[in-house]
Amino acid sequence: MVQFNLKKREITLKIVYYGPPLSGKTTNLQALFTQADQMNRGRLVTLETKDDRTIYFDMLPVFLSASTGHRLSFKLYTVPGQPLHNTTRRVVLRGVDAVAFISTSQRDQLDANSESWANYRENLAANHLDLHDVPTVIQFNKQDLPDSLKPEEIRAVQEYSGLPTFPASAIHNTGCFETLAGLLKRLWGHLADRQALDVRLGLSLEEFEQAITRIFGNTMKRHG
């Protein structure tokens, strides 16, 4: 849920990276952190335990300013993948604005992807949300490993699900920006349609894309 701070003229959007254990959620955020302009990023927080790399969340605030003088802040979180932390995953999804579902490209992990996807839908419902409420994209990470899904198989998932899909190798910083860029574009369209946020901030989709591009020093690719 979009958070407005009228006194500070700040709007905060919450983005969650969801997916099965060791799919690369934290690695995605670390890759984005190294790529983001130091003037536009906050501190990357990583909490690790013996049974899961991220027990609660990672948070990477990224900021941009609108022509109206408002500051737009994105806070990126990950959820723990292990099943015993399901309550934490559900809590982290509270107030979420958009989700990047990070799955693994390896064929022997497809069942784990499906189980995590079902869990994502269940935890959305527990927060009185569904996929129509939360812009979502799917990343197929670990494309560098043997026996990974082929591009045409990833496209087939997109055609079946109706959700944008992105191949990636987060450990090599490939596909991480494209995933975030595609998600932010989808989120911005959602907020423009439902809350006219583009009009309220005086920030067009093109200007929004250009600002994100400047922050990450990359070319914003136009994904539907």
pLDDT digits (tens, 9 = 90+) for 79-127: 887 766 788 889 899 999 999 999 999 999 999 999 999 999 999 999 9
The reported pLDDT for the residue numbered 146 is 92
The reported pLDDT for the residue numbered 220 is 44
The reported pLDDT for the residue numbered 56 is 47
Q: Does domain 3-216 have CATH number 1.10.10.10?
A: no
What's the token pair of residue 90?
A: 């559900």
Q: Which residues contact 165 (CB under 8 A, 6 or more apart)?
A: 137, 138, 139, 140, 154, 155, 157, 158
User: Domain coordinates of the chain in residue numbers?
Assistant: 3-216
Phi, psi of 76 (to 5 degrees): -100, 125
Average of per-residue pLDDT values in the chain: 87
The reported pLDDT for the residue numbered 51 is 57
Global pTM reads 0.90
The reported pLDDT for the residue numbered 200 is 85
CA distance 222 to 158: 16
Q: What share of the chain is helix, strand, coil (3-state, %, to 5)?
A: 40, 20, 35
Give the helix/strand (H/E) hosting 5: strand 3-5
